[in-house]
Structure 1
Amino acid sequence: MSMINVEHLSKNYGHSRGIEDISFSVKTGEIIGLIGPNGAGKSTLIRLLLSFIYPDSGEAQIDGIDCLREAKRIKEIVGYVPSEINFYEDMTVAELLRYSARFYKKDCGQRAAELAQLLELDLTKKMTALSYGNKKKVAIVQALQHQPKVLILDEPTGGLDPLMQNNFFALLEQEKEKGTTILFSSHILSEVQKVCDRIAIIREGKLLKFERIDALQESHFKQIELEFFDQPDSFNIPNSSNHQIVGNHVTFLFSGNINDLIDSLHHEAIKDISILDPSLDDVFLHYYERAEAK
Structure 2
Amino acid sequence: MNKKKMIFSIFLIAILIVPAVHSAEVLTVTGSSTVLPIAAKCAEVFNEKQSDIIVQVSGGGSGHGIEAVATGKADIGMASREVKDSEINKYGDRFIEDTIAKDGVAVVVSSEIHKKVQNLTKEQIKMIFDGKIKNWKEVGGPDRRILVVVRKSGSGTRDTFMEAIFGSSKAEARGKYIETSENSEMKTVITQSDNAIGYLGLGYLGGKEVKAISIDGVLPTKETVKDGTYPIARSLYLYTWGKTSLKEGKFIDFILSEEGQNIVKEEGFVSVR
User: Do the structures match in fold with TM over 0.5?
Assistant: no
Higher relative contact order (CA 8 A, sep 6+): 2
Higher alpha-carbon Rg: 2
Q: Whose helix fraction is larger, Structure 1's or Structure 2's?
A: 2
> What is the TM-score with the length of structure 1 in the denominator?
0.26
Q: Whose strand fraction is larger, Structure 1's or Structure 2's?
A: 1
> What is the TM-score with the length of structure 2 in the denominator?
0.27
